[in-house]
Amino acid sequence: MKDLIEYIVKALVDNPDKVTVKEIAGEKSIIYELRVGEGDLGKVIGKEGRTAKAIRTIITAAAMKQGKRTVLEIIE
Amino acid sequence: MRLAEATGKTLDEAIENGLKTLKVRQEEIEYELISEEEEEVKIKMEVKEPRLHLLELTKYILESCGFKPTINITKDDKGFYLNIKTRHADAILIGKKGETLWALQYIITRLMKRFHPNLKVLVDVSGYRMRRTNFLKKKAEAIARIVLQTGREMALDPLTKREKQIVESKLSEIKGVKIYSIGKGASTNVIIAPNDESK
C-alpha cells in the first residue's frame, strides 16, 4: 500500500527524490504521512483536490477489504 | 517522452537509473543494450505499447491494494475498454455511487497520459458502467415519452454528476423535452419537463 502511494505520487511530482511515505499502523486504522518537496503540493492535490481525493478513495477501498480505516496526510 | 537512454556501472544500475528518469516500474518498460564496456553499460529504454502498459499498470495498482483482479482489455473506435473482475470484491471496487471506480479511472488515465497523451480509456468493474449507462439511457427515453404524452414534469432518482451527463446527452436527441435540476449535492433531483417553446 505504502509502495503504491509512493509510486503514484512520484509519477506526478517534479521532485520524486523528495517524496517519502511513512506508515503509522494502529489497531483499526492506518495513517499514511506523505511528504513532498517544495512546490509539489499542488500536483498531489490536483485541480479542485481531484488527485488527492482519488488517491484517498483508492486506499480507503483497499483498507476496507481488510476492515480498516485509513487517513492520508499530505505535508509539504 | 516514452524513450530514455541510461547508463550505469552495471546493467542493473543502468536499468535502475532509466526507471528513475521515466518514473516507472520495470514491468512497464522494455530495454535494449546499446553498449557494454568495463565500467559503463548503456541502454535504451522504452515504455511498453499502450495496451500492455495499461494492463501492467492496472494490475500493479489493484494488486498493491490486495485485490486479485482479472483484467480484460478490448479496443474499439472510442478507445480502450478495460474491464476488471475480482472474486467477491467488485462492490468495493465500484464503491458508493461508483466513487471508487471513478478514482481508479482518474488515476489510471492520469498515469497513462504521461506517455500516451492521446490515449482514451474507459475503466469498468464487471461491466457496471456499461449496465448503468444503458439503464439510464433507456429510463430517460421512457420517462421522456411519458412526459411528452401527458405534458407533465417527472423527476428521476438522484443522479451523480456523470450520470446526469448521460441523461442529458440522451435527452438532447429527443425533441420537445427539457431537463433541469433542483436541490444541491447528493439530493439533487433531475426533472424532465415538456419544452413549451417547441409547440
- Pick the residue of A4, A18, A40, A66 with the most B CBs within 10 A to test the interface with B by mutation: A4
Q: Give the confidence band of B187 by pLDDT, cuts at 50, 70, 90.
A: confident
pLDDT tens-place string over residues B164-174: 999 999 998 88
Class of domain B131-198: alpha beta
Does residue B199 register a pLDDT over 60? Answer: no
- Give the residue numbers in A contacting B (CB under 8 Å), as ranges: 1, 3-4, 7-8, 10-12, 16, 50-51, 53-55, 57-62, 64-66
The helix or strand, by DSSP H or E, that contains position B156, with its residue range, turns out to be none
Chain A neighbors of B23, CB-CB under 8 A: 10-11, 16
* Domain coordinates in residue numbering, chain B: 3-47, 50-126, 131-198
Contact by Cβ (8 Å): B84, B70: yes
pLDDT score of B119:
93
Q: Compute the mean pLDDT over every residue in chain B, rounded to the nearest whole number.
A: 92
pLDDT > 90 in chain B, percent? 75
Phi and psi of A75, rounded to 5°? Answer: -125, 135
Assess whether pLDDT exceeds 90 at residue B8: yes
Using the predicted structure, report yes or no on whether residue B198 has a pLDDT greater than 90.
no
Reported pTM: 0.89
Where do we find the cell 500516451?
B116
Q: For residue range B80-92, list pLDDT tens digits in order.
A: 999 999 988 999 9
pLDDT level of residue B30 (50, 70, 90 thresholds)? very high
- In this complex, the residue of B60, B100, B114 whose CB is nearest that of residue A61 is B100
- As a whole number of angstroms, the distance between CA B167 and CA B138 comes to 9
Task: Kindly report which listed range (B95-104, B133-142, B158-167, B178-187) carries the lowest average pLDDT score.
Answer: B178-187
Asked if B66 lies within 8 A of A65 by C-beta distance, the reply is yes
Residues B19 and B29: beta-carbon distance below 8 Å: yes
- What percent of chain B lies above the pLDDT cut of 70? 97
Question: B198 versus A25: which is more confidently predicted?
Answer: A25
How many residue contacts between A and B have a Cβ separation below 8 Å?
65
The CA distance from B140 to B170, in Å, is 7
Please spell the DSSP secondary structure of B55-101, one letter per residue.
HHHHHHHHHHTT---EEEEEEETTEEEEEEE-SS-HHHHH-GGGHHH
Collect the ranges in chain A with pLDDT lower than 70.
none
Q: Residue B160 — very low, low, confident or very high, per pLDDT cuts 50/70/90?
A: confident
How close, in Å, is residue B68 to chain A by CA atoms? 12
Mean pLDDT of B154-177: 88
Does pLDDT of B197 surpass 70? no
Distance from CA of A10 to the nearest CA of B (A): 7
| Cβ-Cβ contacts under 8 Å, B56 against chain A | none
> CA–CA separation, A48 vs B74, rounded Å?
32
Chain A residues touching residue B84 (CB < 8 angstroms): none
Overall average pLDDT of the B10-23 stretch: 94
Q: What is the pLDDT of residue B97?
A: 87
For domain B50-126, the question of CATH label 3.30.470.10 is answered with no
Q: Are B80 and B120 contacting, i.e. CB atoms less than 8 angstroms apart?
A: yes
**Residue A49: predicted pLDDT:** 94
pLDDT value, residue B176: 87
In angstroms, the separation between the Cα of residue A29 and the nearest Cα of chain B is 15
